[in-house]
Structure 1
Amino acid sequence: MADTAIRHSPLASVAGRFAAVTRASGGELRLAELPFLAQLNIRLDPKGPAADAVGLALGLQLPLEPNTAVHAGDLHALWLGPDEWLLVGPRGSGPGLENQIRAAAGDEPAAVTDVSAQRTTLLVTGPRARDLLAHGCPLDLHPRALGPGRCAQTTLARAQIVLVARDEPRAGFWLLVRSSFAGYLADWLLDAASEYV
């Protein structure tokens, strides 16, 4: 029997509401979901040979400075801890990236876990993006503190997120949130955005 299951993103039901806010804000704010991005948790010794080998295999070195993010093409590596990173890639790339990382690490101690189904990604951009996030995030969001190429594990409206300040021009922020909190966070963002529409 053919598999007829249809995969739905955690925020498929709010896409229209996000689009309405984007239109109503007159370019001041854009909200969108980036569903099904590949997300892999990597644990290894940052000073060991596996770190260099994985970096070469992926075409980007894992960042060693706390709360930094690097990217090469469609791959983004986020520093989560002294020996922990989150690799974010295009939809469907998880299994291939996982195999690549395992092969590069070889016999060195390393762990890679595909956590793609654990979170979804929200995109918040526009001149009012920082203002919107400041309503519920305890971090200093000024570009000198959380500028392009920076990331942090924090909370937004009491929901745990990984916040990424994108370094592409006018790219805004990624909010990586657990799927079980995505609806709550979307409702909060829509409510907070009402000030700008």
Structure 2
Amino acid sequence: MLKSSSQAGIIIHERAHRGHLNLRGDPEDAEFRQGVVDVLGVELPLEACTFNCGDSTALYWLGPNEWLAIVAGNTEQKIECQLRETLGGHFAVVDVSGGQTQVNVSGSAVEQLFKKSSVYDFHPNHFAAGQCVQTTFAKSAVMISKNADQSFDLVMRRSFSDYLCRWIIDASDEYGLQLNADA
């Protein structure tokens, strides 16, 4: 049931108009790390399952030599070119914006919703702000991160977004749901 923000236990906000860049490189290469900072303004997260944020950029650890950069919309091509011009050695930058989307989920019933939807333990004692994980959510692969405001960002394949949003809508029925979209 759709409710007002004061009544909704689950609030979903589509984070449209974002660019998604997959970045690979050697985290032990100081020039690579500095090049990323020079272009994105954010340091690479080097600890597993963490992320770092700047003004309009977030960098998520996906693996020992792989990160996801989420940047302001309509800047991804420019940033990809800047990374290619700045970085040296062995690296890869791939624009995956067309294949992914991101939603933010918040509200008083988020923990209950996540218990229904994933096998991963999102309890606050286990999954703190600044952490991210690639896991299953409603039988789909997603990357979930916890923000400082205690909300969660879900990055998913665009082809699964309709299914996942419908899942969240159905699973939120008992808590109340508010849907928001970027203007």
Aligned to 2:159: 180
Two-structure CA RMSD over aligned residues (Å): 1.6
Shift of residue 194, structure 1, vs aligned partner: 0.3
Cα deviation code 1:165-184 (max 9, x no counterpart): 112x24x0111111111111
The one-letter amino acid of 2:26's match is D
Aligned to 2:142: 161
Higher RCO, 1 vs 2 (CA within 8 Å, ≥6 residues apart): 2
Matching of residue 74 in structure 1 with residue 74 in structure 2: no
The one-letter amino acid of 1:182's match is S
For structure 1, the 5+ residue unaligned runs are: 1-19
Runs of 4+ in 1 over 6 A off after TM superposition: none
Count how many residue pairs are aligned between Structure 1 and Structure 2.
175
Matching of residue 41 in structure 1 with residue 22 in structure 2: yes
For structure 2, the 5+ residue unaligned runs are: 177-183
Q: Which structure shows the bigger proportion of residues in helix conformation?
A: 1
The one-letter amino acid of 2:116's match is H
Shift of residue 32, structure 1, vs aligned partner: 2.2
TM-score normalised over the length of structure 2: 0.90
Shift of residue 63, structure 1, vs aligned partner: 0.3
Alpha carbons 2:8, 2:175 under 8 Å: kept: no
Cα deviation code 1:87-111 (max 9, x no counterpart): 0011111112112211220x32110
Shift of residue 22, structure 1, vs aligned partner: 4.8
Report % sequence identity. 31
Aligned to 1:140: 121
Shift of residue 122, structure 1, vs aligned partner: 1.3
Aligned to 1:7: none
Work out which of the residue numbers 71, 89, 97 in structure 1 matches 2:71: 89
Aligned to 1:194: 173
Aligned to 1:150: 131
Alpha carbons 2:133, 2:145 under 8 Å: kept: yes
